[in-house]
Structures are given as C-alpha cells and as structure tokens.
Amino acid sequence: MSFFKNRAGGQPRAKRSPEPSGTLGRKNSTGSEPPSPGGQSGPKPLYLSRPFSDAALVKGNFKTIVMQPKYVDPNEWVAVNIFDFYTNLNEFYGCLTECCTQQSCPTMAAGPSLNYVWIQDRKKVTLSAPTYIDSVMSTVQNLLDDENVFPTKDSKPFDENTFHRTVHDIYIQLLRVFAHLYHAHYPHILHLRAEPHFNSLFAHFLAFGAQYHLFDERDIRGEPNAPVGVGLLWERWKTVGILEG
C-alpha cells in the first residue's frame, strides 16, 4: 500500500475563495513591488526577539526527524511531508483569516520592502495577501488531489521527470505563506500562544526543504533591496544549532 495514500486518502478539500488563474511556480509569482521609502526602518520584529524566537515544541536539531525512514521510497517520503506541511500550515492560516483581510493586508508582504506579486497572462499582478494565499492553497490542494502528480495507488509510480520540479514549486509558495504570516501576523500568533507550535512547524519545514533541496538560498534570503523577513530567523536558528549550518 502507498505510504502517501495512508495520509492523503479521504481528506476533504477545504472550500476556498475564487483565485486568479495561473500555474504554480516561481515564474508565476516571482519578484516584488518597489521598496517602500524607509522600508528597512522600524522596530525589531517579535519573531526575531527572545524568548519568542526560541519558543519551540522540539528541542535540539531537526536533522534526525527529516531523515528518510528505511525501506520508504524517497518520493513517497517527500510527498507525505508535503501533504503534512500543507495541512498544518493551512490550519494555522485558518486561525488567522479574521486578521488577514483585504484591508489589513492589501499586498502579499513578507518583509519591510518585499511584496510578492503574481504573474497572470504574463503581467505582474499585485494581490492582497488573502487572495494570494487562497490561490496558493487551492492550487496545492488540486495538485495533491491529482493522481498524475501525487499517485496513491501502488501500481502508479511518481513521474520522475516532473515530480521534483512540482514539489519545488509547491515548497516555494508555502515558504512565502510562512513568510507573510511571520511578517504580518506574528503578534496574532503570540496572542493565541501558538508560537512554539508555529516555530517548530517552520523549523521542520526549513530542515526538510534543505535536506531534500526543495528551495534555494535566495528563496529564504530574498534580494539585497527586498530581503525576506524570516531569512534572519533562518540565520539565527542555524547559529544556535536548530538547523544545519
């Protein structure tokens, strides 16, 4: 029986708001809006401040929990973790939808001078964060439901020619959702007393992605004139040994 099928089978699809057309991938949502004047100034984000940056459910290095179990197919292992990261992040976002609105988050901001944009019909489109996130989550759900991408039958193998590219694109978009929630909604996460859970989920996500080469360093760092806010958190966790240096 498929290892992935045990996790993915029978999961209901969450209803989402309408999203813009386009396929999932860096080419369809890359870049940023022009930096805001004085965008780099301001107080230190709470997610970079102690004790919040150190709050976690798991102590120590995440290396051991991302290692592929013996006798498990590598693609199955990646697939089941993609499913779990998507499901857990989607549940966190569901707790924050009242805070993440068209009015509070008119752009998909992920840093003081970084706003992710969507590419639709070869044009850059600035979307509000809830529209962008709903688009990402709906597209990922459609991919998870697609037997040609994430097969759940033993007789159907993963497509070696396209699978890694697909999961890489999924990973980049989920990373951007994490980045927005940290940048714009970490105080709300603190209010829910969920920072140990959210930090542990993100650290696990980063450790797994690094282990299986599912994102590039520039995806977490950003560009010099538009850095990703959580890039500094990634650096801190490497320094203290939570993530591999």
- Residue 204 known to bind ligand: no
Structure tokens at 53: 């940056």
Instruction: Report DSSP letters for 90-133, one per residue.
Output: HHHHHHHTTTS-TTT-SSEEEETTEEE-EEETTEEE---HHHHH
CA distances from 206 to 116, 150, 178, 219 (A): 19, 22, 11, 11
- Residue 95 known to bind ligand: no
- Residue 213 known to bind ligand: no
- Residue 185 known to bind ligand: yes
- Please state whether beta strands 114-116 and 108-111 pair in parallel, antiparallel, or not at all (unpaired): antiparallel
Query: Which phi and psi angles does 116 have, rounded to 5°?
Result: -70, 145
Annotated binding site for Zn(2+): 100, 105, 180, 185
Task: Write out the binding residues.
Answer: 100, 105, 180, 185
